Chains A and B, each alone.
Chain A
Amino acid sequence: MARFTPHTEADVREMLEAIGVESIEDLFADVSPKLDSELNLPPTLSEYEALRDVEEAARENDTGLPMFLGAGAYDRIIPSSVGAMLSRGEFLTAYTPYQPEVSQGGLQVIFEFQSMISELTALEISNASVYDGANAVVEAALMTARLTKRNPKVAVSAGLNPRYREVIETYGAEIVTLSHNNGTTNFSEVPDDVSGVFVQNPNYFGIVEDIEAASEAAHDVDALCVAVCDPISLSVLEAPGNLGADIAVGEAQPLGMPLSFGGPYAGYMATKEEFVRQLPGRITGETVDRDGKLAYVLTLRGREQDIRRARANSNICTNQALTALAATVYTALMGPEGLREVAELSASKAHYLADKLTDAGMRLRYPDSPFLWEFVVEMGDVERANEALLDAGIIGGYDLGDGAMLIAVTEKRTKEELDAFVEVVANA
């Protein structure tokens, strides 16, 4: 009998009798074609043996080293309380709150998540999250098409994370590529038939962009402006809603989610209230119960697939409730001052490293462009530099493939690690 099934042989016999069949096989009498052989899977392991295999596989990865990789996922400090809250079985093992009377905890968490995203972005309404940052971007692209009643066609520059761009392409939206000067997007050349103009901030190269210029360019052609923002940066950078952005989206991973080889993360989406009908995904709203007591419930369900089926505004079904909980607990623990400190610590260390690398004779690719905690360094043979770094016990930056390294520095990095990084690459 399988591991997590409670029945004894006596239970099975009594139940088969109640059903009126002789054997388990009889329960599959209607199945055709049947599988007659045993599944060809490795032999059953006990928990101990399985976890020993997990440990063995884990050791085949290089982890536990100072990390300078970013490019969309960041190695940030995660308070212990975040994981503790996520391990509460009432959150972990629940499903979508279809029965709000017994899902008030999860619903309120989403309400708080939406509130925090609204506050950070200065946009009126946020959804309950989507799969990841890339999917928030593509959902926003499709949203601009519905709102402008144009074909999905978006203007982006190389400053948009190329993985986000690839997902936009997969979903069939057309892309117009804007040029950039010194890493900063040139918004003066937006064609007049696009549905949306995207601006990532900080952009893929770490540079702080001009969201206002993007939104003016978008509105000049009656398109919408989508700002793709790192949520930590919103503690120090002006909120996109105050700079004319119509939609703000992004990757919520920096808010308390482990790197976990790329997921699970969560994408956030916020917009103006007038656009709410075209916002995809779940939304939690406030209401009262029969006794007038404050309560929360999924609302504006008429936008969604289970109600509207073929006419829904997206096929998206659930949100990323558990990782959104991580973002909510993280943000609550940090508060506005803690988030600002994370941003300032990261920026201080990144600027320290950039200065030291420059001192050591290396060149920043975009020396005149403002950045926070990520920047591009001309490195020649990046692969060799990264190998030398790994030999020294350091995970290097991201190889942009054209002789440059994209380096991310978080609040985790110490002066000692930064100095070691400089020493290794200067001698590589």
Chain B
Amino acid sequence: MLSEKSLGSLIRDKGREGRRGFTLPKNDVENVDLGKVLPKKALRDEKPRLAEVDEPTVVRHYTNLSRKNWGIDTNFYPLGSCTMKHNPRANEAAAANPGFASLHPLQPEKQSQGALRVMHELQGFLAEVSGLPAVSLQPLAGAQGELTSILMVKKFFEDAGDSGRTTVIVPSTAHGTNPATATMAGFKSKEIGVDEHGGVDVEELREAVDGTTAALMITNPNTCGVYERNISEIAEILHGSGAFLYMDGANMNANMGRMRPAEAGVDIMHYNLHKTFSTPHGGGGPGCGAIASTENLAPFRPDPTVEKHGDEFHFVRPEKSIGRVAGFHGNFGPILRAWNYIKMHGPELRDVTDMAVLNANYVRAKLGGTYRVPYNELCKHEVVIQPPEGKRALDIAKGLIDHGYHPPTIYFPLVVKEAMLIEPTESESKETLDDFIGAMLELAETSEEDLEASPTTAPTRRLDETRAARQLKARW
């Protein structure tokens, strides 16, 4: 596909000593001799073995690498739990505006009123969508939003003098980040099972909750794509014992304008602005894991949040803040994009949710019968299915690649064997869904041998992952 005959494949292999890819302005003051102003032993003797390449080579190299990558722009990408929706380019135009791109995070508040206003307005939007009034935009990713939330819960109990709250309960369907977060925040994580809808087993929860429980980490809709129909009862059980209900907001694309976590009894949650509000995933980041909470957890939010006093916006340290979780105020780029996205939707955010849920149910209806649907009831924005008896999720996934589709999330949630979690999102047309469904139905009929050989049309075939770990080579 790519001509690299006389070249190695890494950027460093494409260079030659003395080549340069960029020129800098000439020095207009006296050159300082670093050997004179710094201690000799502080200086580097050997230059780092970096690429020495020209600009045309750099641009071609990374452009060609991009062609070995699939994104939403190139392929349908129904990766469950990740909300791979279209990323509007208006958001990119907003983030590139030099009035924001060149704004230093430590410029005085008076010099950054526009940025503070954006943050303040987004705080308000996120409060409205969740019904939870106290927002912090600082967490830099979903996992950090989880950690921030659980640290706030921890600090609440410390502040209340309640030292017995040692446990966070996590359902077996939870994202791996949930139990990892509980551990990182210094809690024991206790796993409970799920009912026939993939929802929290209420009876098991009732038995698990006691005076040591700090919180339950719930995902709604759950990771099986099903609405937690007992959520109000779950909240009552926790509140009855003085514990909090935390909601992982990874699946908020199913809720906007249709339900608000606050009214269901949720005390604190995180959003993924890179999922629900369309900021680009960027190959794995940056994101933003903004959190929203009730007033009683508000004093514990990270430092700082933005408040409006009169006509001016200010950074304020919440009274009993857990402290900072980021070097500055959060990932402002995603914050600005999400603000712009919400403004381009307004109350029509509900249509986003409606179409996302319509698309997932359509896929469920069309694949059911050929594929097994363990929770064959109304789903929300995603649906979990299993391959026909005797076939493996991994093989179907790799087969999809040869049909031009990015595979769904596979082997998650863990409670469903051979799980394939499909999240089409609202951005996809009926034609795209029909073609995808057609490919899925064809793969269900494809011989195991052919499936096992796939992919054959991608930049590589299946990889030897064991070798990568056993003979670790993670650098040139």
Residues of A within 8 A of B231 (CB): 32
A71 to B464, CA, bound (A): 44
Residues of B within 8 A of A51 (CB): 90, 93-94, 340
Residues of B within 8 A of A340 (CB): 47
A341 and B461 within 8 A (CB): no
Residues of A within 8 A of B269 (CB): none
A262 and B48 within 8 A (CB): no
A22 at the interface (CB under 8 A from B): no
B31 and A348 within 8 A (CB): yes
Not counting A73-B106, A263-B332, a sample of 14 additional A-B residue pairs whose C-beta atoms are within 8 angstroms of each other reads A7-B355, A28-B357, A31-B259, A32-B259, A39-B349, A47-B88, A54-B97, A90-B66, A106-B69, A163-B324, A170-B302, A309-B176, A317-B142, A333-B22
Within 8 A of B (CB), among A5-45: 5-7, 11-12, 14-16, 18-21, 24, 27-35, 38-45
Residues of B within 8 A of A116 (CB): 48, 50
B358 and A27 within 8 A (CB): yes
In the complex, residue of chain A having the shortest beta-carbon distance to the beta carbon of B227: A30
B372 at the interface (CB under 8 A from A): no
Residues of B within 8 A of A208 (CB): 38-39, 42
B165 at the interface (CB under 8 A from A): no
B47 and A105 within 8 A (CB): no
In the complex, residue of chain A having the shortest beta-carbon distance to the beta carbon of B44: A238
A88 at the interface (CB under 8 A from B): yes
Binary contact readout B161-191 vs A (1 if CB under 8 angstroms, 0 otherwise): 0000000001000011101111110100100
Within 8 A of A (CB), among B59-86: 59, 61-75, 77, 79, 82, 84-86
B343 and A53 within 8 A (CB): yes
A179 to B74, CA, bound (A): 55
A177 at the interface (CB under 8 A from B): no
A283 to B52, CA, bound (A): 24
A64 at the interface (CB under 8 A from B): yes
Chain B interface bracket (under 10, 10 to 19, 20 to 34, 35 or more): 35 or more
Within 8 A of B (CB), among A254-306: 258-266, 273, 276, 282-291, 293-295, 297, 299-302, 304-306
B144 at the interface (CB under 8 A from A): yes
B90 and A50 within 8 A (CB): yes
- Known: A105-B68, A332-B53, A336-B47. Is A308-B283 also a contact (CB below 8 A)? no
Which residue in A1, A43, A134, A239 is a CB contact (below 8 Å) of B326? Answer: A134
B51 at the interface (CB under 8 A from A): yes
Binds B, one of A76-84, A215-223, A358-366: A76-84
Which residue in B24, B407, B412 is a CB contact (below 8 Å) of A342? Answer: B24
B476 and A102 within 8 A (CB): no
- Known: A64-B102, A109-B62, A239-B44. Is A89-B73 also a contact (CB below 8 A)? yes
Binary contact readout B113-128 vs A (1 if CB under 8 angstroms, 0 otherwise): 1110110000001001
Residues of B within 8 A of A307 (CB): 176
23 pairs from A and B in contact (CB 8 Å cutoff) = A14-B430, A41-B129, A54-B340, A75-B102, A81-B58, A91-B66, A93-B71, A96-B281, A101-B455, A102-B69, A102-B455, A109-B283, A112-B476, A114-B475, A125-B472, A234-B48, A235-B48, A260-B332, A261-B112, A290-B463, A305-B143, A331-B51, A347-B32
Binds A, one of B13-21, B202-210, B441-449: B13-21
Binds A, one of B236-244, B284-292, B384-392: B284-292
A115 to B86, CA, bound (A): 32
A290 to B141, CA, bound (A): 35
Residues of A within 8 A of B114 (CB): 56-61
- Known: A5-B351, A263-B326. Is A338-B21 also a contact (CB below 8 A)? yes
B350 and A38 within 8 A (CB): yes
Which of B42, B58, B117, B426 has the largest number of chain A CB atoms within 10 A? B42
Residues of B within 8 A of A31 (CB): 227, 258-259
A264 and B347 within 8 A (CB): no
B29 and A45 within 8 A (CB): no
A189 at the interface (CB under 8 A from B): no
- Known: A89-B74, A320-B286, A415-B28. Is A125-B474 also a contact (CB below 8 A)? yes
A182 to B303, CA, bound (A): 30
In the complex, residue of chain B having the shortest beta-carbon distance to the beta carbon of A313: B180
Within 8 A of A (CB), among B185-242: 186, 189, 226-227, 229, 231-232
A4 and B176 within 8 A (CB): no
In the complex, residue of chain B having the shortest beta-carbon distance to the beta carbon of A290: B461
Which of A67, A332, A347 has the largest number of chain B CB atoms within 10 A? A332
B184 and A106 within 8 A (CB): no
Q: How far is the CB of B60 from chain A (nearest CB, A)?
A: 11
Residues of A within 8 A of B140 (CB): 131-132, 135, 263-264
Binds B, one of A190-198, A322-330, A420-428: A322-330
In the complex, residue of chain A having the shortest beta-carbon distance to the beta carbon of B429: A6
A35 and B31 within 8 A (CB): no
In the complex, residue of chain B having the shortest beta-carbon distance to the beta carbon of A53: B343
B111 at the interface (CB under 8 A from A): yes
Residues of A within 8 A of B176 (CB): 304-309, 312
- Known: A47-B90, A109-B62. Is A89-B44 also a contact (CB below 8 A)? no
A273 to B472, CA, bound (A): 9
- Known: A60-B114, A102-B69, A289-B464. Is A305-B180 also a contact (CB below 8 A)? yes
Binary contact readout A361-394 vs B (1 if CB under 8 angstroms, 0 otherwise): 0000000001110000000000000100010000
- Known: A41-B125, A101-B461, A276-B472. Is A55-B99 also a contact (CB below 8 A)? yes
A318 and B355 within 8 A (CB): no
B475 and A323 within 8 A (CB): no
Residues of A within 8 A of B283 (CB): 91-92, 94-97, 103, 106, 109, 321-322, 325
Residues of A within 8 A of B64 (CB): 105
Which residue in B59, B66, B102 is a CB contact (below 8 Å) of A63? Answer: B102
Residues of A within 8 A of B186 (CB): 172
B369 at the interface (CB under 8 A from A): no
Residues of B within 8 A of A288 (CB): 463-464, 467
Which residue in B87, B358, B455, B461 is a CB contact (below 8 Å) of A16? Answer: B358
A376 to B272, CA, bound (A): 39
A161 to B324, CA, bound (A): 13
A204 at the interface (CB under 8 A from B): no
A24 and B354 within 8 A (CB): yes
Which residue in B49, B63, B129, B325 is a CB contact (below 8 Å) of A167? Answer: B325
In the complex, residue of chain B having the shortest beta-carbon distance to the beta carbon of A316: B143
Residues of A within 8 A of B111 (CB): 61-62, 390, 395
Q: How far is the CB of B243 from chain A (nearest CB, A)?
A: 18
